Homo-oligomer: A and B are copies of this chain.
Amino acid sequence: MVAPIRVAPSAANRALNLLRTVQYTHPPSCPCHSNPNHHHHHRTPTLADHVRRHMSTPIDPSRQKEYAFEMAASSIRFGPSATKEVGMDFANMKAKRVCVVTDKNVSQLDAMKQAIEGLSREGIEFTVFDNVRIEPKDYSIKEAIAFAKPYNPDAFLAVGGGSVIDTAKLMNLYTVYPDAEFLDFVNAPLGKGRPVDRKLKPLVAVPTTAGTGSETTGTAIFDLVSKKAKTGIAHRNLKPTLGICDPLNTRTMPSAVHAASGLDVLFHSLESWTAIPYNERTPRPTNPINRPAYQGANPISDIFSLQALRSTIQYLPRAVKDPEDFEAQSQMLLAATLAGVGFGNAGVHLCHGMSYPIASQNPGYKHAGYAVDDPVIPHGVSVAVTAPAVFRFTAASNPDRHLAAAEAFGIDISNVKRESVGEVLSEAIVKFLAELGDQPLGLKGLGFKSSDVESLVEGTIPQKRVLMLAPNLNEELEAEKAELRGLLEQSMDYS
């Protein structure tokens, strides 16, 4: 007779606690003015629903949903000629030995000249590693690390696109952990996913493309050759100390590079905007250090992602068509950085997840306008090619957000039905890609055949870090594979 009495107040307390949490987190109101929210059920769940759901089953901590999000710091300096200041930045931080990281192409450009002159003017000792591989592979990263270790710099300067900045992050990481094995920090399940618990050396990043957003993120992507898979290392502590975004530095991009890197920005924005909300992610971390950088859409990432989406749709076509349109180029550099802050704190999902095997398993495609000898599917192109299928698939998870995205593409959404928003957004993306020009409208255009789909599915499955943020994707392995197969088959041909 005593037990029920003791149980009752405890159950009541538990209900009260749930009540408090529930009222804040269900539904998460989006602070953006168009005020779409993530929930696709239309009946607002009653408190009774929540209490019932939570009270009826014992709580398994690993299944508990996230309740907080963290917006990690990114310092950005933006302005024409700001590259000149970089020597003073290193002097201000009392750096004595700087390892400058670039590639053979960028090393000839004005951005590098300005950076080197800046370091020299301040009398700072430096050395230059100019052998970064575009679309880096594990062996090119290891070569770069082997260069940095004996020099033992006290700071790094990356001047280049995403490949250069990502390589510099890893040179920094493995110089600070000289005894670590290469796979220790690589994302699980391919690597061991060890968290970065030491403070790295200062890294200043000067992007020369408007795409990657790598100057704001803690992510470094490369090709793990033995596994035939693109993967990477992601942790807040890899973030550059400062990104110097100088629109004079992106004038050198050929038109095809503008287009491909701009498509990366477009889908950084659109994928982070439509990623699962942070408070639907499991498990809830037991220590804040384990909260991933890719935490799902949240009210702050939303602001960056939606703004970057609108800017990219407005300015990318102009930047591609007219190399003299400096306003468009400048706006695209800003959009790339904003999108970087957005997806760097929210994550990307299916387009990026499938892009890695698409790029790794390239049947021999050489993108027009890329002056390289080897076959190459530029990263942005490999991302964009599945987008029409992806957003048709994800729309049901959150019609309001997909409607807002369609509106950003210039669609009059006043008469779009909620059940057709996926189709409408998909068509808007195909139209945007077609008008941009020189884009392969489907996997066929890259040389893939239907018989390649299974291998692309197998290459996508290990991309847990991004797939976990995909809305609507089945968690059961065979069902997930079937959904990915469907998306890839639908992506064969849009023309």
- Which residues of B lie under 8 Å from residue A31 when comparing CB positions? 307, 311, 331, 334-335, 338
- Report the Cα distance A79→B296, complex, angstroms: 14
Contact between A68 and B92, CB atoms less than 8 A apart: no
Of the residues B21, B69, B299, B303, contact of A77 by C-beta under 8 Å: B69
- Report the Cα distance A248→B23, complex, angstroms: 11
Of the residues B75, B80, B289, contact of A71 by C-beta under 8 Å: B75
Q: Knowing A23-B327, A32-B307, A74-B73, say if A67 contacts B80 (CB, 8 Å).
A: yes
User: CB of A277 within 8 A of chain B?
Assistant: no
Q: How far is the CB of A306 from chain B (nearest CB, A)?
A: 9
Write the A74-91 contact mask toward B (1 if CB under 8 angstroms, else 0). Answer: 111111111001001100
User: CB of A310 within 8 A of chain B?
Assistant: yes
Q: Knowing A288-B85, A326-B24, say if A70 contacts B80 (CB, 8 Å).
A: no
Contact between A303 and B300, CB atoms less than 8 A apart: no
- Report the Cα distance A335→B70, complex, angstroms: 15
Contact between B307 and A20, CB atoms less than 8 A apart: no
Contact between A338 and B300, CB atoms less than 8 A apart: yes
User: CB of A287 within 8 A of chain B?
Assistant: yes
Q: How large is the interface on A (under 10, 10 to 19, 20 to 34, 35 or more residues)?
A: 35 or more
A-B contact pairs, 19 of them (CB 8 A): A25-B79, A31-B311, A31-B331, A33-B310, A67-B79, A67-B80, A67-B81, A68-B81, A69-B78, A69-B79, A70-B76, A70-B78, A71-B77, A72-B75, A73-B74, A73-B75, A78-B298, A92-B287, A92-B288
Which residues of A are at the interface with B, using a C-beta cutoff of 8 A? 20-21, 23-25, 29, 31-33, 66-82, 85, 88-89, 92, 197, 247-248, 279, 287-289, 298-300, 303-304, 307, 310-311, 326-327, 330-331, 334-335, 338
**Given A68-B81, A72-B75, list of 14 further CB < 8 A pairs?**
A20-B80, A20-B248, A23-B327, A31-B307, A31-B331, A67-B81, A68-B78, A68-B82, A68-B85, A77-B288, A78-B300, A85-B287, A92-B288, A300-B338
